[in-house]
C-alpha cells in the first residue's frame, strides 16, 4: 500500500474516464510536473465523494523525508571459488531486502522494501547508487520489468497491488495503478455496505508478486488471488476474466509471444494463456504440490519452472511434456528465480545464496557458486530473490549478513545489508 503523509486505502477498479476530471484545481501543475508524465490520460482525477469515479492512489506528494532520496557509495566484495569469480555489491546504510532487479540501457534497477525502495546504478556500478523511497511503512516492491521494447519505461509492483511506473529511466517514479470503475447511478440513500460490495470484486487484497509485458501494450500483474491486465501499455488495469481461489498465490509470470504466457504459484499451480493474459488454463502436472516461485521460457518451446525444495521441471515442447531436472549439490532450499538464456543455457538462484547453471536445457543443474563460501569469510549468509541478465553479465539480488568484528567481545555480531551479485557470463555451448 502506498502511504504518504496519511495512510491511503487501496482498491483496484475497472478503468474508465467517464466522470473523471483531469483539470481539477486540487491537482496542481507542480504535482503533475513532479510525478506524472505528459502522456495523455496519465493523470485522470476524480472529484471527492463520487462513486462512479475513484482514485486508486490519491497521492499528490511524496513524503517529505530527509532520507526519501539520496545516493550511497557501494562496497564491493570479490568472490572466488575454484573456477569462477563474481562480485558482491553492498549498499551500506540502505535498510532494504531486494526482491527483484532488471537491466536496461546499461543500468541496473533493484527493488524491495520496506518503504517501497528502488535503487539504481549508472553504467559503472562502482560509482554511487541512487536510492529512492516511496513510503514510510513496511510496503515492499516485489518485481520490476521493462515495458516491452521501451527501455526508458519500467514498471514495478508489490504490496497491495501497488504499481509504479517511470518513463524517464528512473529519474522519477509515479504511482500508476489509478484504475477506475463506472457504476450506473446509485441513489443517494444507498447504504455504504452495498457500495462496498459492488466495489469488492476489483480490490487487490494481499501482495502482488510478478509483472510482465507481452509487448508494448499488453501486460499482467499477478499475486494473491488476483491477475490484473492492461492492454494500453500500463495506462489502465482491470481484472482478468479468469478468477482465482482466495488461497492462490501466483509468484512468477512470463510471456513467450504477444499471446502466449505462463504463470506459476502455490500448490504446484501452473497456468498458461493463449490470448494475452485474459483467460488462463491450468496445466496438470504431478509436481508434488511444489510451491513454484519462478518460470522462464527462452522461446515458445523451451521453458523451466522452479520453486520449493530445490525442484525444477523443464519442457522442450511448449509445455505438453515436462521433465524434472537433476540438481547437483542438491539443497532443499527454495529456488527463487530461474532464467533460460537460450534452449540450452540457463541459470537459477536459491534462498540460501547458491547459483546454479544448466547447459543442457534444464536436465542437469550444476552448482556454479556458493556465495558465502566464495567470500572467504567476508559474508556469513545469503538470501537471493531476484535475477536478470544483460549481454555480458549475470545479476542476482537479495540480502547478505556480514561478520562484525568487536575487539572486546567473544561473540560475533551480524549485520545485514541488501546485496547485488554480478558475474561475467561464461561461454555458452553452440
pLDDT, tens digit (0-9, with 9 covering 90-100), for 211-242 = 999 999 999 999 988 898 989 898 778 889 99
Lowest mean pLDDT among 62-71, 73-82, 145-154, 278-287: 62-71
Structural domain contains residue 200: no
Residue 414 pLDDT grade (very low, low, confident, very high; cuts 50, 70, 90)? low
Q: What is the pLDDT of residue 206?
A: 74
Question: In the chain, pLDDT over 90 holds for what percent of residues?
Answer: 56
The residue-averaged pLDDT of 23-33 equals 34
Half-sphere exposure of 402 (CA within 13 A, CB side): 17
Q: Say which CATH number the domain at 404 has.
A: 2.130.10.10
Burial 203-218 (b: 16+ CB within 10 A, else e): bbeebbbbbbbbeebb
* The model's pTM: 0.81
Total tally of structural domains belonging to the chain: 1
Contact in structure between 334 and 356 (CB atoms under 8 Å): no
Give 284's DSSP letter.
P
Structural domain contains residue 264: yes
* Cell 539480488, located at residue: 397
Structural domain contains residue 9: no
Structural domain contains residue 188: no
Q: Which domain holds residue 270?
A: 65-175+206-424
Those residues whose C-beta lies under 8 Å from the C-beta of residue 235, and which sit 6 or more positions away, are: 15, 39, 41, 42
Give 334's DSSP letter.
P
Q: What is the pLDDT of residue 247?
A: 83
Structural domain contains residue 7: no
Nearest C-alpha neighbor of 229 from the set 248, 250, 247, 246: 250
Structural domain contains residue 32: no
Structural domain contains residue 4: no
- Asked whether the predicted pLDDT for residue 204 surpasses 50, the reply is yes
Is the model more confident about 196 or about 389? 389
pLDDT, tens digit (0-9, with 9 covering 90-100), for 48-73 = 444 433 333 443 334 445 568 899 99
Q: Which residues on neighbouring strands pair with residue 403, listed in sequence order?
A: 414
The residue-averaged pLDDT of 351-368 equals 96
Mean pLDDT estimate for the chain: 80
SS3 266: helix
Structural domain contains residue 309: yes
Lowest mean pLDDT among 32-36, 313-317, 369-373: 32-36
Amino acid at each position: 500500500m502506498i502511504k504518504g503523509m496519511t495512510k491511503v486505502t487501496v482498491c483496484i477498479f475497472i478503468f474508465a474516464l467517464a466522470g473523471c476530471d483531469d483539470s481539477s484545481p486540487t491537482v496542481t501543475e507542480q504535482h503533475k510536473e513532479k510525478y506524472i508524465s505528459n502522456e495523455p490520460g496519465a493523470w485522470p482525477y476524480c472529484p471527492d465523494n463520487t462513486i462512479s469515479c475513484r482514485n486508486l492512489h490519491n497521492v499528490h506528494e511524496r513524503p517529505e523525508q530527509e532520507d526519501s532520496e539520496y545516493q550511497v557509495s557501494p562496497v564491493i566484495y570479490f568472490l572466488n571459488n575454484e573456477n569462477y569469480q563474481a562480485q558482491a555489491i553492498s549498499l551500506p546504510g540502505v535498510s532494504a531486502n531486494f526482491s527483484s532487479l532488471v537491466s536496461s540501457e546499461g543500468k541496473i534497477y533493484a527493488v524491495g522494501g520496506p518503504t517501497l525502495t528502488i535503487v539504481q546504478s549508472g553504467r559503472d556500478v562502482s560509482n554511487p547508487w541512487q536510492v529512492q523511497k516511496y513510503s514510510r511503512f513496511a510496503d515492499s516492491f516485489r518485481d520490476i520489468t521493462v515495458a516491452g521494447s521501451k527501455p526508458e519505461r519500467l514498471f514495478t509492483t508489490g504490496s497491495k497491488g501497488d504499481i509504479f511506473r517511470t518513463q524517464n529511466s528512473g529519474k522519477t517514479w509515479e504511482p500508476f495503478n489509478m484504475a477506475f470503475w463506472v457504476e450506473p447511478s446509485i441513489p443517494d440513500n444507498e447504504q455504504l455496505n452495498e457500495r462496498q460490495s459492488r466495489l469488492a470484486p476489483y480490490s487487490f487484497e494481499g501482495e502482488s508478486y510478478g509483472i510482465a509485458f507481452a509487448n508494448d501494450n499488453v501486460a499482467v500483474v499477478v499475486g494473491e488471488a488476483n491477475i490484473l491486465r492492461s492492454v494500453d501499455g500500463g495506462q489502465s488495469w482491470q481484472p482478468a476474466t479468469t478468477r482465482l481461489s482466495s488461497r492462490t498465490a501466483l509468484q512468477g509470470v512470463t510471456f513467450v509471444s504477444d499471446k502466449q504466457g505462463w504463470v506459476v504459484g502455490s500448490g504446484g499451480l501452473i497456468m498458461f494463456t493463449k490470448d494475452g493474459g485474459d483467460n488462463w488454463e491450468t496445466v496438470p502436472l504431478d509436481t508434488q504440490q511444489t510451491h513454484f516461485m519462478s518460470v522462464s521460457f527462452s522461446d515458445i518451446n523451451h521453458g523451466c519452472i522452479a520453486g520449493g525444495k530445490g525442484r525444477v521441471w523443464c519442457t522442450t515442447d511448449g509445455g505438453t511434456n515436462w521433465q524434472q531436472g537433476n540438481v547437483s549439490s542438491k539443497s532443499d532450499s527454495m529456488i527463487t528465480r530461474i532464467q533460460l538464456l537460450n534452449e540450452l543455457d540457463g541459470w537459477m538462484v536459491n534462498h540460501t545464496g547458491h547459483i546454479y547453471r544448466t547447459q543442457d536445457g534444464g536436465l542437469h543443474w550444476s552448482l556454479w557458486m556458493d556465495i558465502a563460501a566464495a567470500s572467504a569469510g567476508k559474508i556469513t549468509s545469503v538470501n537471493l530473490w531476484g535475477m536478470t541478465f544483460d549481454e555480458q553479465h549475470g545479476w542476482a539480488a537479495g540480502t547478505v549478513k556480514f561478520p562484525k568484528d568487536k575487539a572486546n567481545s567473544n561473540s560475533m555480531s551480524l549485520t545485514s545489508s541488501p546485496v547485488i551479485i554480478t558475474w561475467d557470463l561464461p561461454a555458452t555451448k553452440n
